[in-house]
């Protein structure tokens, strides 16, 4: 089973979320959330963990909130159950994917003004040429960018893998002889979001609920 949950941040709900949920988490995480100068950053961090816990509950998984560790590449994992997960956020959305089947990665980016030429060195020649032929170069850039980011997150080594070292073609990429498949996830017209996984899978998306959680 693979599911995606997402949420919009809300300044109106911020104090409620902090008071109701933050004390459920370990002290180091509480300190991290409270240390953010902007409420948006603190809420994005908290909602990511709430989405993860909500998804595990829906899957019937019992998980101790303290049992979250990080690999040497700083990718978080659950050390008490086998479920894989990944979290991403941008703008006003945070998204979490969980799977019992795959190593997975997800990336979301708000489509915004950007100097695209600054990122030419991060793309292969073929990717760059294809992107520049598109009518809407900005949207095409974020389409490629979220795919490449999702792939390195699914691989688990993150940005230690140069983005130019592999190529995305027709929602597919290969890193060190491992195949990665990509699926675009439509959450909001102002965003681009892609899911990367090592085997072809069906995805369930879940929509917002009491804490603005969306399930796909």
Q: Which residues contact 33 (CB under 8 A, 6 or more apart)?
A: 18, 22, 25, 42, 45, 46
pLDDT of residue 159: 75
- What CATH number should be reported for the domain whose range is 111-200? 3.90.470.20
Determine the pLDDT at residue 211.
Answer: 43
The pLDDT of residue 52 is 93
| pTM given for the model | 0.90
In this chain, the answer to whether the domains covering 1-101+202-216 and 111-200 adopt an identical fold is: yes
In the chain, where the domains are located: 1-101+202-216, 111-200
Say which DSSP state 162 is in: -
- CA pair distance 165, 192, nearest whole angstrom: 22
Q: Is the dihedral of CA 138, 85, 65, 13 positive or negative?
A: positive
Give the length of the chain.
216
Among the four given CATH numbers 3.40.50.300, 2.40.10.120, 3.90.470.20, 3.40.1550.10, the one describing domain 1-101+202-216: 3.90.470.20
**What DSSP string describes 63-110?**
--TT-EEE-TT--EEESSS--EEEEEEETTEEEEEEESS--EEEEEEE
Residue with token string 């990718």: 75
- Amino acid 213: pLDDT: 53
> Which of the residues in the chain have pLDDT under 70?
200-216
Query: Tokens 């990336």 — which residue?
Result: 107
pLDDT score, position 208: 44
Tokens of 21: 């949920």
Token pair in block for residue 81? 């159950």
156-178: pLDDT as tens digits: 887 788 899 999 999 999 998 89
């Amino acid at each position: 089973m693979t599911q995606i949950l997402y949420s919009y941040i809300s300044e109106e709900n911020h104090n409620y979320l902090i008071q109701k949920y933050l004390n459920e988490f370990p002290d180091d995480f509480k300190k991290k959330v409270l240390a953010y100068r902007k409420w948006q950053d603190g809420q994005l961090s908290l909602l990511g963990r709430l989405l993860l816990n909500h998804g595990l509950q829906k899957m019937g998984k019992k998980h101790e909130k303290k049992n979250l560790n990080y690999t040497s590449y700083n990718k978080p994992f659950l050390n008490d159950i086998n479920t894989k997960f990944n979290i991403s956020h941008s703008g006003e959305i945070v998204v979490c994917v969980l799977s019992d089947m795959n190593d997975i990665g997800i990336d979301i980016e708000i489509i915004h003004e950007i100097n695209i030429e600054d990122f030419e060195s991060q793309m292969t020649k073929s990717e760059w040429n294809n992107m520049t032929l598109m009518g809407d170069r900005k949207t095409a850039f974020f389409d490629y960018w979220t795919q490449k980011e999702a792939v390195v997150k699914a691989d688990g080594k993150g940005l230690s893998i140069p983005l130019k070292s592999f190529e995305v073609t027709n929602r597919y990429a290969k890193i060190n002889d491992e195949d990665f498949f990509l699926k675009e996830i439509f959450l909001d017209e102002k965003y681009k979001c892609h899911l990367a996984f090592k085997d072809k899978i069906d995805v369930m998306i879940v929509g917002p609920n009491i804490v603005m959680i969306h399930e796909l």
